[in-house]
Amino acid sequence: MINEISSHTVNSLLEKYPFAATFFDGHHVQTEGREEGTVQTLLARSVAEAGEDAITTADELLEQLTEHINQMLLFLADDLDTVRSLSILPGTHKDGSPEGFSNITINSGETICIVGPTGSGKSRLLGDIEWVAQGDTPTGRHVLLNQQVPDRKWRFSPTHKLVAQLSQNMNFVMDLTVREFLEMHAESRLIDNVGDVVMRIMDQANDLTGESFAPTTPITSLSGGQSRALMIADTAILSRSPIVLIDEIENAGIDRRKALGLLLSEDKIVLMATHDPVLALMGGRRLIIANGGIEAVIETTDTERGILEELAVMDRRMMDLRNRLRRGERLG
């Protein structure tokens, strides 16, 4: 690929790989007025102009440019969207006894809930999925993608992130507005219509939380519920990871049913560790965790779905009362 890149004109390279402009800017390579020359000539001229201040050679710059283009192509590869199913093959409990299932397959657009007492092994399961375990973790589990042993890129390539994690604790430290934060993320994904995407995420985030916020709001001043709503919307719309792991969002101050609906509408595979009966019954199945392993797999029954509807009415009532209190209203 090095020869191909070196023989391109600067114009044709930037037309084919527009992100190469970032490399040129970062290495202080002046392209203006030199667009019709070859890349090799451009780099050689840049090094010559630097003279004694040059810290690299033209050949080394060409190698770095080629690597930059290769990494960006991997980052933008469409195959990140081809994970249609996740399968978990059994390992063992902490005491070495076998887990209580034969195969668990979860398809895109599906939610699985993970329930069990604190310390039972929920985090071990989430870790196995994120690491794409191949019998090389303490549980001995195997994880398959699309019913096959996954390509090593899902484990070791920084450009192929299989899992996006959403947790109870989300704190921002950057001195940015919400709009600036979302624009930075969208631009890093080389999104064309950045403004439209940013507003879509804003609209979805404000639909999830009872405390609306503006694009000009500093992200460091967002409440816990606002932060989680923003990150759920951002993950659903901008994240290219096909699997979302959610760890305890029951006290997040957001509309949980809408949050799950948003993630599932983008064909994500959603695994959720929770103690909340509303969330637990939203999934089609529940994985029961005990003694470090999966003890059982329970299908949600029609009776439980009826209970969920009753709980949902109560949940909406609580959300309404909470929002009225925030607005300073009296409750009657």
How many Å separate Cα 91 from the centre of its chain?
Answer: 27
| Model pLDDT, residue 79 | 46
| Model pLDDT, residue 80 | 46
Name the helix (H) or strand (E) containing 7. helix 2-7
Name the helix (H) or strand (E) containing 302. helix 302-326
CA atoms 317, 321, 322, 327: torsion sign: positive
Token pair for residue 273?
């560790």
Enumerate domains of the chain plus CATH numbers.
Answer: 2-75 (no CATH), 79-326 (3.40.50.300)
| Model pLDDT, residue 168 | 62
| Model pLDDT, residue 196 | 92
Token pair for residue 212?
């609306």
Three-state secondary structure readout of 309-323:
HHHHHHHHHHHHHHH
Going from the first residue of the chain to its last (332 residues), give the mean pLDDT of each consecutive group of 10, the final group possibly shorter: 85 87 87 89 88 83 87 61 86 92 91 89 88 92 92 70 74 83 86 88 89 91 86 88 77 73 84 85 91 92 93 85 85 84
| Model pLDDT, residue 256 | 77
Token pair for residue 46?
């840049």
